[in-house]
Structure formats: C-alpha cells, structure tokens
Amino acid sequence: MRCISYFSTSMLSVKNISKKQGEHYLLQDISFEQNAGEKIAIAGETGSGKTTLAKIVAGLGQAGGGEVLFEGKPVKGIHDKLMPGHKGIAYLSQYFELSNNYGVSELLAYANDLTEEFSKELYQVCRVDHLLDRWAQTLSGGEKQRVALAKLLTTKPRLLVLDEPFSNLDLIHKNQLKSVLENVQDHFKVSYILVSHDAGDILPWADKILVMRQGKLVQQDDAVSMYKHPNDEYVAGLFGKYTVLNEALRAKFTGAPPFIRPEELVLSNADSNSISATVTKVSFYGSYHELEVLAEGQTLTIRSNKSIVVGQQVYLSLLQKEVG
C-alpha cells in the first residue's frame, strides 16, 4: 500500500448504508472509512451497487438507512436538501455532458471564483490550458473528460468520486487521464473514490479496494492482499485469471494457495517438485506469452517469456515464495 503523510486524518465515514427497491436490496449494510489523501476503488460486477453507493457518498443519491459523514458532518441525500450534492465532494459521472454550444473558456469560467493564477495552474495540471479557445463540440472524448474534471475542480473539492472514468477512453487518453489524476492529487491534495470494473485500472492505483456483490461489501483490503488472498472465487475472478487446483494437483503442489494465479506456476526442469504438462494454447501479449497447459486432467494458465509451441511437453513447478 502506498502511504501519504496525511493518511492519519479521517475524512469520510460510511456507516451501515442500505437501500431497497421494492423488496430487493440495492445496498445492504455497507460500512467503510476513508482517510484524507487515500485512494479507494470500488470494484464489482455490473449491477453490484457500485454506482448507487458512489452517488450516495457524493450526496447525489438517497440511502434508505445508515449515514455518510464527511469531515464529521452528515452528507444529506437528494430527498433531504433542495440542491443535491455536497460542497466538499465532486462527482464525475461516466455519462458526463458538456454544453456543445459553449467555448471551453466559457465553461470553465462559469461560477469560477478562483483567482486567475490558481485557475491557470489548475488548467495546466488538467492539461486543458491549450483547449481554452476551442468549442466543446470539437473536443475528443478524452479532452472533454479533462475539461469536465477541471470544471469540477474549480469548486475546490476535497474528495473526487469518479464513476468509471476510463470506460470510454482509448489507451492513450486513459493513460493521460491517469497521469492528470495523479498530478491533481499532488497539487491540490484531493482524495479519490474510483468506481471501476477493470483490475488493470485498480490494482496499481488503489490504497484500498472495496469489492461489492449483489449490494453487499464482500471484501475490503489493500491491493496486494486483494489479489493474492481473495476471500472467494468471485473476488479472485475480478482481479485476473486463476485456477482452483484439482485433488491430484493439490497433492503435488503442497502449500499452494487456494487460488493459483498464472505467475505462481513456472516452467522448470523435470524433477521431484515438478509435473509434466502439454501445451494446448499459446497467446502473445507483448512482454510475455500466456500458455494454457493440460496437467493431471486440468487446464492451467501460466506465463512465460520463452518461445513455446502448441503440443510441446513442459514441466511446471510452484513458484517458491520469498522469505523475509
């Protein structure tokens, strides 16, 4: 887990949040804490309640029970106040819209009480300073998203809730936005809650991950623990490929974890600690090959940077854990 010096300061407290639709629970008894500077990711399958929870945290939804406290004060729901939202929290929806008949500078200037110097710094950090003379309708999807982000930041929020911010971006614009978000935190000391279904976006980024299923919080942990020690197959599957070893392989690989990741099995020499396997599929991923192999009646997935062909016999061993 990456630590920032202001992690010790509690900022957000979500306590026993529940929400029903008819007799069906959309959220059931959700609780977690967030410290200032902490980056939290909410993961889960479609329909698990991620966006519903995120909107309630931001004051843009209504819980049926429980409470959300931001900096010690309640975050009111949409039925409890005339104007939805919370002054210290900004929410960026994956379905955000910009008014196409406005220029970027007009959009950013509206209700912007920041000094000219601060605004200039903000636009540079968000990489929109070169877009100020453009019309919104001429921007690419990635450019529009950075403008929308900059617009939210003109309110000087302490918490940014990002709902699937990378889902509609190509790799180039996704990497640009990730860099911008990192720079925003460095410059303006905001905290993040990120809703995402993509393990590649979550694992290298999050200080803490919340996994949801059918409206329930089924695991919360740091990224390493979530990946290496998932509570069950559902959690394991959200963060990458895995195999549950059959009885024959469990007997051979004593001490193996319940869920084997591809990198935990390695090609080796034939010896007492290895098993024989036949390669059934080879896929190239640039920096490595992913192999599907058949061993003891079970298909396993491993990774290798060696040139392997389908039908080749190989030997596998369990990766030895580092000590200390």
For the chain, the structural domain boundaries read 5-238, 247-318
Q: How close are the terminal C-alpha atoms of the chain, in Å?
A: 18
Q: Which CATH class is domain 247-318?
A: mainly beta
Query: Residue 320: its pLDDT value, please?
Result: 73
Q: Identify the pLDDT of residue 236.
A: 96
pLDDT in tens, 92-136: 998 888 888 899 999 999 888 889 999 999 999 999 999 999 999
CB atoms within 10 A of CB 310: 11
Which tens digits make up the pLDDT trace of 131-171? Answer: 999 999 999 989 999 999 999 999 999 999 999 999 888 99
Whose tokens are 């994956």? That residue is 94
pTM higher than the cut 0.85: yes
Phi (first) and psi of residue 151, to 5 degrees: -60, -45
The CATH number of the structural domain formed by 5-238 is: 3.40.50.300
- Same-fold call for 5-238 versus 247-318: no
Helix (H, G, I), strand (E, B) or coil at 55: helix
Tens digit of pLDDT for each residue in 201-239?
999 999 999 999 999 999 999 999 999 999 999 999 999
